Structure 1
């Protein structure tokens, strides 16, 4: 257990998968000053390798002042409001849940806990937020390209699944807005929600999801334009080897957000 000092954030980590293992291991190794791993929440047995007590969600709320969600959109829907009303802060990795406008409004209205989200696998969100202060962007486009197997979903019909499984080059899987796409791909398109949250409008962000059997990197291309300028961000990440639906960088983005919440000084960006 990480030693605590007065003012240390007591962190409850929800999820011990590709994201949670990296985040929890870093916290247990004392790599985030001002934050201590208090407990883990997961609906699976964790065995003896877990670096903190494995507890229920209710117990985590009693023990912690910050919950880090690293387990998917369903956790945000089921527990987000309860976390905040208990007085505990919530850091959300699965930002796609916030495209549900009713849920987002309930979370923003709940308290006294505060809700935060991390940008995850995409950059440029701080600039888009700054530009938004000058006036609305006229057009925002996001193209996400991933390996076909990471995009397969239960709602897909056989024709689409066959196109994905037999693709020899890029195939457009779906196009829509940031309001629609994250719900269709709950583990693969949180970036769309993050961009929309930065822009401030779910319907302005047009999203294309592309499957490419040659996509050794997960790629996100953001193109935005407005009366004050044009912007383009192009990022390509290695997928996580244990869960190719997410990028290796995502847990490190969560850790960066944790460091900011824990009060790291001398840093703006």
Structure 2
């Protein structure tokens, strides 16, 4: 009887920021059995700060069988299809990119690589997916509350920026659907896209983005209802100290997804 040797996933991390550093360092420390850090891709020279070779994107596709995107929606748009066409799997952290339905269709149709996404800073997505199989959810609402400075965008007019900067309490910055909001806040509202992907309808998910100078935690409240029940998830995370636009928990959600893809057993998927 022969015993097969488990395949080790050779992982490339794209983006050496708040998410990528935690993910890459954990791989180097071998905290994810069956996965190892092969290389890092970043548009800045990293020198000795990266614990693996820094390479160009095309070289990463030759060296890796799994790429972790930790650099923003623009990378998914620019490189997602190319990754999958090379036969490399892709784990997406910036799920907001998938609110572009044409892009999402192209990624799902591309191959032979496979595309995955992580839920990031919100819970309950697996339950929403299960409920969706029973019938549509008719009312889904997400309220995201963050520090004003993390929500400032180039498209904002001076009146809105002044209200945010001088606020002494919560200020609604934008409301819309999960189709609209992630495009306006490409680094701050990936949760809206994750909820919409779980629900299966971008337009069903209504999103409010709130700036609050007292928001010591980033908060996401999901409320959903349908013929089969009502559901509410309320999560509050500490922002990452180096990048307050993202929650500290996000890279650990990526690592959990990586562990599942690497074949670790004995966990709830």
> How would you bin the TM-score normalised by the shorter chain?
over 0.9
CA distance in 2, matches of 1:158, 1:208: 20
Question: Which residue matches 1:133?
Answer: 133
Structure 2 match to 1:239: 239
Structure 1 residue 115: deviation in Å?
0.2
Q: Partners of 1:243 and 1:149 in 2: how far apart?
A: 11
Map 1:89-104 → 2, pairs under 5 A: 89-104=89-104
> Is 1:12 aligned to 2:7, yes or no?
no
Aligned-residue offset at 1:50:
1.1
Q: Are 1:119 and 2:119 an aligned pair? A: yes
State the number of aligned residues. 265
User: 2:244 aligned with 1:262, yes or no?
Assistant: no
Shift of 1:238: 0.2
Contiguous gaps of at least 5 residues in structure 2: none
- Cα shift readout 1:74-107 (whole Å, capped 9, x = no counterpart): 0000000000010000000000000000100000
SS in 2 for 1:138: strand
Q: CA deviation at 1:229?
A: 0.3
Deviation at residue 49 of structure 1 after TM alignment: 2.2
1:228 aligns with 2:231: no
RMSD (CA atoms):
0.7
User: Cα offset for 1:231?
Assistant: 0.2
TM-score of the superposition, structure 2-length normalised? 0.98
Q: Which residue of 1 aligns with 2:248?
A: 248
Partner of residue 39, structure 1? 39
Matches of 2:237 and 2:262, distance apart in 1: 27
The correspondence of residues 19-34 of structure 1 with structure 2, limited to 5 A, is 19-34=19-34
Q: Give the Cα separation in 2 of the matches to 1:153 and 1:229.
A: 37
Equivalent residues in 2 for 1:112-261 (5 A)? 112-261=112-261
TM-score norm. by structure 1 comes to 0.98
Measure, in 2, the Cα distance between the counterparts of 1:215 and 1:268: 31
Counterpart secondary structure, 2:137: coil
